[in-house]
Amino acid sequence: MWACDAGLTSTIVESYAGAGPLFVNTLQTFLAAHCALVGDDRWGADAVDSVLKDPNYDFIVVGAGSAGAVVANRLSENPEWRVLLIEAGGNPTLATEAPQLFPANIKTKENWGYRTMPQSGNCLAYDSGCAWPRGKVLGGSSSINAMFYVRGNKEDYNEWAAAGNTGWSYDDVLPLFKKSEKFYKPTPESDVYHGTDGYLYVEHTNNVLEIERIVINATAELGIKVLDDICGETQMGVTRSLSTTQNGERFSTARAFLNPIKDRSNLDVLKNAYVTKLVFKDGTNEVTGVLISKDGKEILAHARKEVILSGGCINTPQLLMLSGIGPKKHLEDLNIKVRADLPVGENLQDHLYVPVFFKAKSNSNAGTINNVLQGVGDFMLQRTGIFADLSPNRVVTFVNTTDDNASTPDIQVHHLIIEANGTNIADFFDLHGNTEEVQLKFKEINKDHRVILAAVVLLRPQSRGKLLLNSTDPNVLPELYSNYFQKQEDVDTIIRGMRHITKLADTEAFKKNGLTLDWLDLDDCKAYRDKLSDQFLECIARHLTFSLYHPVGTAKMGLVSDATSVVDPELRVRGVDNLRVIDASIMPVITRGNTNAPTIMIAEKGAELLKKTWIDEAVFKSHREKYNILKQRWSG
């Protein structure tokens, strides 16, 4: 990190001495601010020397993402356990830490760069499939995500429990959400739903921007309730979301769960290291360690107790399959020795969204280069301005499009604000790999107009995708079949959602502010003249399909009797010893909301299950030893 090298920075500062003290002071403050944000010392050193010296651990956690960072922290709370956390990426960067730069990460090395396989029923306005970004950095996807803190619906967890997953009902998991959380600002009412003693900063800001108020007022005119807390009693309504940010900065799980314990001596964090295979005891299905590729070398690390897979919904099933755990036929086709015939990679679910655009004439300069530069300065020096925080994009709505009184939503709406002639985010479509036609047609809408991109999200997809290996080479990306819109019910729901959201254009709040509905006039959809017809809306949905970046479910949790499950309710992989999956892959059914907070909860739960197993085991062992000693004495 050059800017954090004391010698180098003083040389730079000195070389600008001629520019005067004000400039030099500003430069110094700028460099110090940069270091405070992304200096390597924030994250602790790479543990390669320690691993090479002694590669024997009690637990090995693969992946330092939303889940893995939490699991490693909680396990290493026990000073008697030696824990290794292995992450394929490196330290966070400026683009990961500045909240509003989050879309930019799609084109950096901090993203694995996955795309869905091109299919005839979805993602048609792309050069090649939809973008499925995933974080490859400490904090994983929590370091590149949009920072919305949403838990979903109480029924999500009650449904998991009703399917036989004992211990996963809402009442069971609420204490785990609270355990992680350092909620800002608590009130007497927030005590029921929020915790204040955890590592994860969750922000609740009262600062409502004018454009956010317009969206909230317009949504309320449609009869939708205005909420204060999206994680409170009910989820049904519109509000400004809570966020994993603190004073303008991102609060990833790396920041929350790894930074405060970077000097914990029983936790080693190995960075830029890729786990390529699980290692088994000869002739058994007992996992004893992992094979790691780092800096062109292979390292073998051993786990005395368990290996925990927290590589996320794409990498976890890939690693399982490469190690012989997956669908028998698929593995045999690739000449992989089958250890356990399990439906790994199936049950893939994601939240897709379709954008609906509203625009209002604007002569604001917010999207100009000058303003962007000003934003960089504001952020670096004060953590304010257009790159800080989540505003003006905080507003979220949850509705049920078939039943106004329902307590579960079928549609979520995010509202993304794109300033007139926006340069900061206008290449959003380029970043996602949309066709040139989309990019040009969006620029037409955005020309001298501020745009609200209302992302209409399908919350409970009925279609199921799947993931297949493309090769036995771990460096070849797997094939991702989203199967978006395979089920007609999903098409019907998104059409209802899109039509519902177009009604915002009829509200006083939108009319008063000159906000009108507009569409990307795609050539393929031109045949359908009536813009509210099912045919036109379906055409737009199948072309402008976007992922909300929430793939889950590829190592499904369920009862052992459930042939579609991969792990049991204690997250142990069926038919294999000493191996658990603890990440978003285990969700049997996707939650009705963003998936980061639920994944962190899964990690808290997984860590408690691990502790229970191994502490009970230790107690049992010590009882057994005492009993044996006494037995010997008695018999002697």
Q: Does 583 bind ligand FAD (CB under 6 A)?
A: yes
Q: Does 74 bind ligand FAD (CB under 6 A)?
A: no
449 is catalytic: no
Angle at the Cα of 236 (from 231 to 242), degrees rounded to 5?
30
Q: Which of 351, 415, 432, 550 is catalytic?
A: 550
CB 120 → ligand FAD: shortest distance, Å? 25
The site string for ligand FAD over 76-95 (x = CB under 6 A, - otherwise) reads ----------xxxx------
137 is in an annotated binding site: yes
For 631, counting Cβ atoms within 10 Å of its Cβ (0-12 exposed, 13-18 middle, 19+ buried), the class is exposed
For the CA atoms of the chain, what is the radius of gyration? 25
d(CA 80, CA 199): 22
DSSP for 478-490, written as a single string = PEEE--TT-SHHH
Best CA proximity match to 103, nearest among 130, 68, 131: 131
Best CA proximity match to 588, nearest among 116, 157, 151, 173: 157
Q: Does 595 bind ligand FAD (CB under 6 A)?
A: yes
Tokens of 466: 């799947």
Stretch that binds ligand FAD, among 15-23, 90-98, 158-166, 590-598 (CB under 6 A): 590-598
457 is in an annotated binding site: no
Q: Which residue's Cβ has the minimum distance to ligand FAD? A: 65
Residues 291 and 298 sit within 8 Å (Cβ to Cβ): yes
Cβ count near 331 (within 10 Å): 23
d(CA 352, CA 485): 9
Tokens of 365: 């300069």
CB 103 → ligand FAD: shortest distance, Å? 7
d(CA 110, CA 446): 29
CB 612 → ligand FAD: shortest distance, Å? 21
Residues 374-413 that bind ligand FAD (CB under 6 A): none
d(CA 314, CA 478): 8
Residues 284-313 that bind ligand FAD (CB under 6 A): 310-313
- Please pick, from the candidates 38, 42, 57, 65, the single residue that binds ligand FAD as defined by CB under 6 A: 65
d(CA 392, CA 205): 12
Residues 476 and 321 sit within 8 Å (Cβ to Cβ): no
- Pick between residue 100 and residue 310 the one whose CB is nearest to ligand FAD: 310
Q: Does 148 bind ligand FAD (CB under 6 A)?
A: yes
Cβ count near 222 (within 10 Å): 15
Establish how many alpha carbons lie within 13 A of residue 342's alpha carbon, considering only the half-sphere containing its beta carbon: 30
- Pick between residue 86 and residue 420 the one whose CB is nearest to ligand FAD: 86
- Please pick, from the candidates 37, 75, 395, 584, the single residue that binds ligand FAD as defined by CB under 6 A: 584
Residues 178-237 that bind ligand FAD (CB under 6 A): none
- Please pick, from the candidates 274, 357, 358, 379, the single residue that binds ligand FAD as defined by CB under 6 A: 274
Dihedral sign for Cα atoms in the order 353, 459, 582, 321: negative
Residues binding ligand FAD: number (CB under 6 A): 41
CB 124 → ligand FAD: shortest distance, Å? 21
- Pick between residue 62 and residue 331 the one whose CB is nearest to ligand FAD: 62
- Please pick, from the candidates 74, 82, 115, 136, the single residue that binds ligand FAD as defined by CB under 6 A: 136
> Would you tell me which residues interact with ligand FAD (CB under 6 A)?
62-68, 86-89, 133-136, 140-142, 144-148, 150, 274-275, 310-313, 315, 319, 549-550, 583-584, 594-597, 599
- Binding-site residues: 137, 275
Give catalytic residue positions.
Answer: 550
